[in-house]
């Protein structure tokens, strides 16, 4: 049976980085930049004032002080967005607002606080400078942030809000990024009922499709929920014959050893099985391979297929462990792993099977150390255990028992402060 690492390596071997596409800068949030971005303009475009005050020639402020102000003639005023038409001559000043362009002849700005403006009457054409300023004071230089023609953002960088801002500062409304993969999600099971409907006896709601779809969204992919296939070949094949543009197919359930577990049979007929078990808990019955998918032009092609287990917790944990890195690779991301911490265990747990066990854990931080306690019962049907957890505490294959005080590595799913601080 494959180890978690071997399974991951196989899956990553079958998924490729998506092509690039041009999108609006807002829509590209979270995507990877596909080409270096050069600036067509200086940012800021011109020298401008950092403070509200007076644009002056610094030499005119020499030895100015509160006791002996240097009095200058005010020859005009310039606001942000306006053009500075006036030209400073020695002994003159221009009233200027933050962000306004520096008039010709001025080499510094004296802020209002360092002038006697407050004491002067309306219409006074003079200003007293109370403090000497050095050249360049309170001026942002043209191109100080980004020089025209320079490389502002490098290929491979993830677009965060800051990158959206930087792109906008250069005037770009679109950017080339690696496109998001489309992830088709198909639930299988005769017992499943779609949410929003009454629940007949013997049935359960289809929660996996939604847990997976939400995970896909949070990883940066585009989920496409295909509905429910029943536990027979005809129903599954009918779903697979639907035309869709999918980059990766994800099914849930039907991969264990039961009488109606037909996903593996379909995989064998309509695709290739690469593996069907992983040495881990939860999530041992995890299938991976390729499956035939018909695109919108009616062309059949093989796409990677992850057959997630049906038990809701197993489904979410394996999506986290295998689907997430696959999607991140497709998105062109470099770091595919969740951050981990070493945490002191506050509960005991046995590991009988020599498998790697992923326990839903609540991680808190106290006195600079991380502590992890279990969310409660760890059965694979208890989906609320995932909801309570902010991490997965990992018991290695060779550790048969975890005692209180043992240190385990915890994969952090969430850095929510409230959870980390405990309750
Ligand atoms: P299976 O892999 O088909 O044997 O399913 C294992 C368990 O997961 C069974 O108890 C199923 O009822 C449950 N299950 C399967 N699919 C879903 C789903 N989409 N939502 C919630 N539970 C499911
Ligand atoms: Mg089933």
* Domain CATH number, residue 101: 2.170.190.11
Helix (H, G, I), strand (E, B) or coil at 164: helix
Identify the band that residue 422 occupies on the pLDDT scale cut at 50, 70 and 90: low
Contact 185/207 with Cβ under 8 angstroms? Answer: no
Q: Residue by residue, what is the 3-state secondary structure of 295-358? A: CCCCCEEEEEEEEECCCHHHHHHHHHHHHHHHHHHHCCCCCCCCCEEEEEECCCEECCCCCEEE
Boundary (domain end) residue, out of 154, 178, 202: 178
Residues 235 and 350 in one domain: no
Distance 365 CA to ligand 2 centre (A): 40
Boundary (domain end) residue, out of 117, 140, 163: 140
Say if 244 falls within a structural domain.
Answer: yes
d(CA 40, CA 32): 21
Asked if residue 312 has its Cβ within 6 Å of ligand 1, the reply is yes
Q: Which domain holds residue 174?
A: 20-44+144-178
Identify the band that residue 262 occupies on the pLDDT scale cut at 50, 70 and 90: confident
- Number of domain units in the chain: 4
Residues 162 and 249 in one domain: no
Q: Does the pLDDT value for residue 299 go beyond 70? A: yes
Burial of 397 (0-12, 13-18, 19+ CB in 10 A): middle
Distance 187 CA to ligand 2 centre (A): 10
* Domain CATH number, residue 189: 3.40.980.10
Distance 240 CA to ligand 1 centre (A): 20
Q: Does the pLDDT value for residue 423 go beyond 60? A: no
Asked if residue 211 has its Cβ within 6 Å of ligand 1, the reply is no
* Per-residue pLDDT, 265: 85
What is the number of the ligand 1 atom nearest to the C-alpha of 211?
A: 20
* Per-residue pLDDT, 27: 97
Identify the band that residue 268 occupies on the pLDDT scale cut at 50, 70 and 90: confident
Residues 309 and 347 in one domain: no
Identify the band that residue 122 occupies on the pLDDT scale cut at 50, 70 and 90: confident
Residues 24 and 171 in one domain: yes
Residues 312 and 387 in one domain: no
Residues 136 and 110 in one domain: yes
Q: Does the pLDDT value for residue 274 go beyond 80? A: yes
Cα radius of gyration (the chain): 31
Boundary (domain end) residue, out of 152, 178, 204: 178
Q: Among 189, 202, 250, 261, name the best residue to mutate to test ligand 1's pocket (greatest count of ligand atoms within 8 A of Cβ).
A: 189
Residues 136 and 148 in one domain: no
The pLDDT mean for the chain works out to 95
Measured from the alpha carbon of residue 192, the closest ligand is 1
Contact 329/15 with Cβ under 8 angstroms? Answer: yes
* Per-residue pLDDT, 180: 98
* Per-residue pLDDT, 86: 87
Say if 309 falls within a structural domain.
Answer: yes
Q: Does the pLDDT value for residue 220 go beyond 80? A: yes
Residues 169 and 200 in one domain: no
What is the average pLDDT across 196-217?
98
Residues 250 and 201 in one domain: yes
Distance 312 CA to ligand 1 centre (A): 7
Query: Percent of the chain having pLDDT more than 70?
Result: 99
Measured from the alpha carbon of residue 312, the closest ligand is 1
Q: Among 204, 231, 253, name the best residue to mutate to test ligand 1's pocket (greatest count of ligand atoms within 8 A of Cβ).
A: 253
Distance 55 CA to ligand 2 centre (A): 77
* Per-residue pLDDT, 100: 97
* Per-residue pLDDT, 399: 96
* Domain CATH number, residue 384: 2.40.340.10
Say if 12 falls within a structural domain.
Answer: yes
Q: Does the pLDDT value for residue 184 go beyond 60? A: yes
Identify the band that residue 150 occupies on the pLDDT scale cut at 50, 70 and 90: very high
Residues 200 and 217 in one domain: yes
Residue with CA at minimum distance from ligand 1 atom 15: 310
Which DSSP string do the residues of 5-54 spell out, in sequence order? HHHHHHHHHH--PPPEEEEETTTTTTPBB-S-EE-SS-BSSS-EESSSEE
What is the average pLDDT across 296-312?
95
Say if 313 falls within a structural domain.
Answer: yes
Distance 205 CA to ligand 2 centre (A): 13
Residues 233 and 259 in one domain: yes
Say if 81 falls within a structural domain.
Answer: yes
* Per-residue pLDDT, 365: 94
d(CA 194, CA 239): 16
* Domain CATH number, residue 24: 3.90.105.10
Residues 253 and 356 in one domain: no
Among 154-158, 167-171, 192-196, 416-420, the minimum mean pLDDT is found in 416-420
What is the number of the ligand 1 atom nearest to the C-alpha of 255?
A: 2
Say if 9 falls within a structural domain.
Answer: yes
Q: Does the pLDDT value for residue 229 go beyond 80? A: yes
- Residue 40 or 269, more confident: 40
Say if 40 falls within a structural domain.
Answer: yes
* Per-residue pLDDT, 207: 98
Among 21-30, 77-86, 377-386, the minimum mean pLDDT is found in 77-86
For 209, the token pair is 């499709």
* Per-residue pLDDT, 258: 78
Identify the band that residue 259 occupies on the pLDDT scale cut at 50, 70 and 90: confident
- Residue 264 or 73, more confident: 73
Q: Does the pLDDT value for residue 105 go beyond 60? A: yes
Q: Does the pLDDT value for residue 235 go beyond 60? A: yes
What is the average pLDDT across 358-373?
96
Contact 116/130 with Cβ under 8 angstroms? Answer: yes
Say if 335 falls within a structural domain.
Answer: no
pLDDT, tens digit, 9 for 90 and up, residues 58-100: 999 999 999 999 999 999 999 999 998 889 999 999 999 999 9
């Amino acid at each position: 049976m494959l180890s978690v690492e071997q399974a991951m390596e196989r899956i990553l071997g079958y998924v490729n980085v998506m092509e690039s596409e041009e999108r609006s800068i807002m829509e590209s949030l979270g995507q990877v930049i596909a080409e270096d971005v050069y600036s067509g303009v200086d940012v800021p475009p011109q020298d401008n004032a950092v403070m509200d005050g007076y644009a002056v020639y610094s030499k005119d402020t020499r030895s100015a002080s509160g006791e002996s102000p240097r009095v200058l003639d005010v020859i005009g005023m310039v606001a942000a967005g306006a053009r500075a038409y006036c030209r400073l001559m020695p002994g003159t000043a221009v009233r200027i607002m933050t962000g306004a362009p520096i008039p010709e002849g001025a080499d510094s700005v004296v802020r209002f606080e360092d002038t006697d403006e407050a004491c002067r009457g309306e219409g006074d054409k003079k200003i007293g400078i109370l403090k000497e300023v050095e050249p360049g004071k309170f001026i942002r230089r043209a191109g100080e942030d980004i020089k025209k023609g320079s490389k502002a953002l490098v290929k491979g960088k993830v677009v965060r809000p800051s990158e959206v801002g930087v792109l906008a500062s250069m005037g770009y409304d679109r950017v080339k990024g690696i496109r998001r993969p489309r992830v088709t999600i198909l639930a299988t099971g005769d017992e499943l009922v779609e949410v929003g409907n009454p629940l007949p006896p013997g049935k359960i709601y289809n929660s996996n499709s939604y847990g997976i779809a939400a995970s896909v969204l949070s990883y940066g992919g585009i989920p496409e929920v295909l509905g429910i296939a029943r536990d027979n070949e005809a129903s599954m094949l009918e779903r697979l014959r639907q035309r869709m543009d999918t980059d990766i197919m994800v099914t849930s359930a039907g991969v264990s050893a039961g009488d109606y577990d037909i996903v593996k049979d379909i995989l064998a007929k309509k695709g290739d099985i690469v593996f069907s078990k992983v040495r881990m808990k939860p999530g041992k019955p995890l299938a991976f391979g390729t499956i035939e998918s018909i695109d919108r032009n009616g062309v059949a092609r093989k796409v990677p297929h992850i057959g997630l287990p049906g038990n809701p917790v197993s489904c979410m944990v394996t999506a986290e462990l295998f689907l997430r890195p696959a999607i991140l690779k497709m998105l062109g991301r470099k770091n595919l792993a969740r951050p981990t911490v070493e945490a002191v265990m506050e509960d005991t747990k046995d590991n009988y099977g020599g498998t790697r066990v992923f326990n839903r854990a609540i991680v808190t931080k106290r006195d600079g150390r991380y502590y992890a306690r279990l969310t409660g019962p760890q059965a694979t049907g208890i989906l609320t255990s995932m909801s309570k957890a902010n991490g997965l505490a990992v018991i290695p294959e060779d550790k048969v028992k975890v005692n209180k005080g043992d240190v385990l590595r915890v994969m952090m799913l969430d850095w929510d402060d409230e959870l980390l601080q405990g309750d």
